[in-house]
Amino acid sequence: MASRWRGTGRNGRLTFFSREGAYRTSASLAFADCCDLPVTIDTLDRIWLTTRPRMIRGDGSAVDPVAMIRNEIGYLRYDALGILIDTIMAPTLPGRDVTLSTLQVTSDDFRGAIVQVPYATYPRQAVSPLGHVVAAMARPYAVHTEANGERLRVTREFKVPPVAEEERAQLRANIEFFMRRERQDFRWNGPDIPHEKPPIAAIAVGLDGRIWVQVNVPSEAFEPEPVTASSRDRAPLVRFRPREKRWDVFEPDGRYLGRIAAPRAVDVHVTHGNYAWGVMRDANDVAEIVRFRIDPGI
């Protein structure tokens, strides 16, 4: 995951429409609050919008570079009329790795890039429509959630896939290329790329509160499309990708339901019960909206 910044504008807005598409109201958002999706609406009609509220120093005068590097996630909560209620921070879990950074901060500006080390240990989180944050670290396999007012820690045994030395070398060369375009004297300033993938790749929560834990799968070698850029602008290619996508699915109370597999080209965005909606891209990178049914159901 990479984040890049140039300057500090304040141009974000959250706009509300009725179910029929009629405009209702609009709320102004600070730069750091405006841009991360998805937006979640919980069962109390509260709207959760991803934010990084600790990125701006307390007096509002400058960006805190330490907070930017940590890239901590919180959620602004609005009521159904667009009035800000409060801010909820995602749980802070131990074991987080540092990121790679080329940040250059002055009194009136900041620029640079922040990149997570591939397969290192970083937070995963998602908002449940039941009104709480579901969180985990990429490793170990332990998901932190809530049910009936009680905190839960959901765990599973998982055999982690190895990372081939060739893949590690390609990933490192690719990242160094882009970071040195941001800052020519960049030197690797984070942990090494691990020799094993972590169990958890991502977390999502369905409209029914079911927890979908995307697990890491072995990589496969492939040949990317030819690059037409000049040799100077040609980044080293990464010729590895996940073979497919897999999810472990849990009930909101942590009960394990089963594992789902789908083609690598599918991006799932919404789930409910035994159905999933998403986007699939064909061999020509043309996208189409698709709906899947889990069969047999879980």
pLDDT at position 3 is: 43
Residue 71 CA to chain centroid, in angstroms? Answer: 11
pLDDT at position 1 is: 44
pLDDT at position 127 is: 95
pLDDT at position 5 is: 38
pLDDT at position 204 is: 96
pLDDT tens digits along 193-237:
999 999 999 999 999 999 999 999 999 999 988 777 666 678 899
pLDDT tens digits along 55-86:
555 555 555 666 666 677 888 888 877 788 88
* Residue whose tokens read 């969180």: 135
* Residue whose tokens read 């369905």: 206
Tokens, residue 45:
């009609």
8-state DSSP, 274? T
Query: In this model, does residue 255 exceed pLDDT 50?
Result: yes
Cα-Cα-Cα-Cα dihedral of 230, 235, 236, 237, to 10°?
Answer: -100
Q: Indicate the SS3 state at residue 128.
A: strand
Residue 38 CA to chain centroid, in angstroms? Answer: 10
Query: In this model, does residue 280 exceed pLDDT 50?
Result: yes
Find the length of the chain. Answer: 298
Tokens, residue 107:
């009194």
pLDDT at position 120 is: 98
Query: In this model, does residue 240 exceed pLDDT 90?
Result: yes
pLDDT at position 9 is: 46
8-state DSSP, 90? P
Q: Domain locations in the chain?
A: 2-264
* Residue whose tokens read 């332990």: 142
pLDDT tens digits along 17-66:
877 889 887 777 654 445 566 789 999 989 898 887 655 555 555 556 66
* Residue whose tokens read 């970071």: 179
Cα-Cα-Cα-Cα dihedral of 144, 142, 172, 237, to 10°?
Answer: -90
Burial 47-77 (b: 16+ CB within 10 A, else e): bbbbbbbbbbeeeeeebebebbbbbbbbbbb
Beta bridge partners of 270: 277
What is the distance between the alpha carbons of residues 148 and 251, in angstroms, rounded to a whole number?
Answer: 13
Q: Are 268 and 262 in contact (CB under 8 A)?
A: yes
pLDDT at position 7 is: 39
pLDDT at position 6 is: 40
What is the distance between the alpha carbons of residues 29 and 14, in angstroms, rounded to a whole number?
Answer: 7
